[in-house]
Structure 1
Amino acid sequence: MLPFNAATLRTGENRLPCPQCDRGPKDKALSVRVEDDGRMVWTCHRCGWSGAAGRETQPAAPARPPSKAATKHRAGLAPWADREWATAQPIHGAALAYLKARACCIPPEGSHLRYNPSLHHPSGYTGPGLVALVTDARTGQPISLHRTWVRADGEKAPLEAPRLLAAGHRKAGGVIRLWPRQSGQPLGIAEGIETALSLAHADVAAWAAIDAGNLAALPVLPGVPELLIAVDADPAGEAAAAECSSRWLAAGRRVRLVRPDAGDNDLNDTAQKYAGHE
């Protein structure tokens, strides 16, 4: 049995959520190529899981499970990720232009969002990119690195996977602290970096949860009296916001849900519209 619905795939390259990484419905790390004769080959660009299937009249070849090296979560950052973060620069150049073109609020000094003008992609591409430190929401300890290859016009680089997390690192329970926050201040949380930087226009310290699963599981944090949740306008986003909100309200905290305008996918779409960037 194939690990995805082959009937929905077109001939050529398809990008799907990887069932091994299981990063949620928005993930597109799994590349599935369908040939004219119906043969399929798939590879995850994150964990390395791969497999193949013959013609429809033939049984599917068994999928190769990800290696232990690919699935084991290391403690802290790998040496290469530690160097990448240490050498990343404050936001300027193409990264600054990208964020401005996306109508994002530019994070201050001390943000866990930086810039590399020559960020290497596994495909061989090298270009400007955002480098974000992922830390444990509870402890603040570094657990991963998030990278986004960008263009100065506000578009992501023309890559199959322009956003990548560090392979072999833990994502669950992680956040990107885009704004330093003092105890007693409200906190804003969103799935993506650009959406969180749109929520920051509300004069709130904003963090990115990376995806709907992490937002849904955001723990109730000490010293945060109020949580603002930027809700993505899709079933996963609505469900994540509802789960997170319920837990924080049950703990006696104030919660506000911030939704995009009707017809917009997320708060960044709305921010761009009002900034005249569409």
Structure 2
Amino acid sequence: MISWTDYGLGSHRLTCPACGRGPRDKTLGLTIKRDWSGVCHCYRCGLAESYRPERGAHLSTPSKPRIKPAAPSEKHETLSDWGHSLWAVSKSLSGIALDYLNARRCCIPPADADLRWHPALKHPAGHAGPALVALITDALTGEPLSLHRTWIRADGRKSDIDPPRLLLGGHRKQGGVIRLWPAGAATPCLGIAEGIETALSLAWGVQPVLACIDAGNLAAFPVLPGIERLVIARDNDPAGIRAVGTCAQRWANAGRTVLVTQQQQNDLNDLVMGVTAA
């Protein structure tokens, strides 16, 4: 299932061949050791495979995802009680959370934005540490849908944990956004981006801003009443470029002005941080 000889020594992140949802859905961790043997594991479906040059690959779990169907009570169209509780105990941005955002050269959002932090949030892998906690709400209705969590370090890097960003399981993400400026900040101009850090980089020039979470949500971002100009911070990869094209066409067809950022770097945050383009 894995083309082991295509990878060099070290760790790699791949799309799981069993449960992968697209080229950007890299839930499979793969490691090649010094003797060119290797192991891989998908954190979502549990797929595990090992490889030795002399005997080839060995699949230790079925090729079909081992995801148990969720009971109706485990499916949440809106934010669950547990999600509301976590959001309630999360703190306004301060301490390590501010250190992280400042190190990433982000524009700091207002205190009443849908972005908070938790000093010791537990990760499914067992790690507990500081994490940004963002509320995801429906782009049209504003109803809470889910939470987005990013485990962070004060130096501007994400925590050394796999994966460092997670959505709440069993919650709807489609149609959701992270409002990095409160609803009362609505103006005829709006900025959007995929990720939180990219949106907060765009905020140096455009406010308010929203983070759409990923390319799929950005592509489907609906035309909002009262917004006459949309500024999109484009991720410079195939999925990001396609998403921006789809969204921009929808808004242009509705008679709205659309502006799109361009940079050699992967995203606007890389540009703001002075990261050299690959």
Aligned match of 1:43:
42
1:195-251 CA-to-partner distances (Å, cap 9, x unmatched) read: 000000013211111111111111112221111000111111111111110111011
Q: Given the alignment of the two structures, is residue 15 of structure 1 paired with residue 13 of structure 2, yes or no?
A: yes
Q: Distance in 2 between matches of 1:37 and 1:199?
A: 43
Range with greater deviation from structure 2 (76-85 or 32-41): 32-41
Query: In structure 2, what is the equivalent of residue 249 of structure 1?
Result: 252
TM-superposed deviation, 1:265: 1.4
Alignment partner of 1:164 is 2:166: yes
1:61 deviates by 6.0
**C-alpha separation in 2, matches of 1:63 and 1:20:** 6
**1:63 alignment counterpart:** 63
Pairwise CA RMSD: 2.8
**Alpha-carbon spacing, 1:12–1:79, altered in 2? closer, same or farther (3 Å):** farther
CA shift at 1:124, angstroms?
1.4
| 1:9, distance to aligned residue in structure 2 (A) | 3.8
Q: Distance in 1 between matches of 2:19 and 2:109?
A: 30
Q: Paired residue for 1:239?
A: 242
1:183–1:91 Cα change, 3 Å = closer
Change (3 A) 1:21 1:194: farther
- Matched with 1:187 is 190
Shift in alpha-carbon separation, 1:57–1:19, aligned structure 2, 3 A: closer
CA shift for structure 1 position 104: 0.3
Relative to structure 2, which stretch is displaced further, 143-152 or 165-174?
165-174
What residue in structure 2 maps to residue 26 of structure 1?
24
Question: Partner letter of residue 202 of structure 1?
Answer: G
TM-score, normalised to structure 1, is: 0.85
In 2: Cα distance, 1:23 partner to 1:179 partner: 30
Q: For the Cα contact (< 8 Å) 1:147–1:164, is it kept in 2?
A: yes
The aligned counterpart of 2:111 is 109
1:206 to 204, 209, 213: 209
Q: Deviations over 1:47-66 (max 9, x none)?
A: 43425477547789632422
* Rounded Cα–Cα distance in structure 2 between residues aligned with 1:13 and 1:221: 42
Contact map agreement 2:190 2:206 (CA 8 A) in 1: no
- Taking a change above 3 Å as real, the CA distance of residues 196 and 24 of structure 1, as seen in their structure-2 partners, is farther
Q: Is the 8 A contact 2:30 2:38 kept in 1?
A: no
Identical pairs, percent: 48
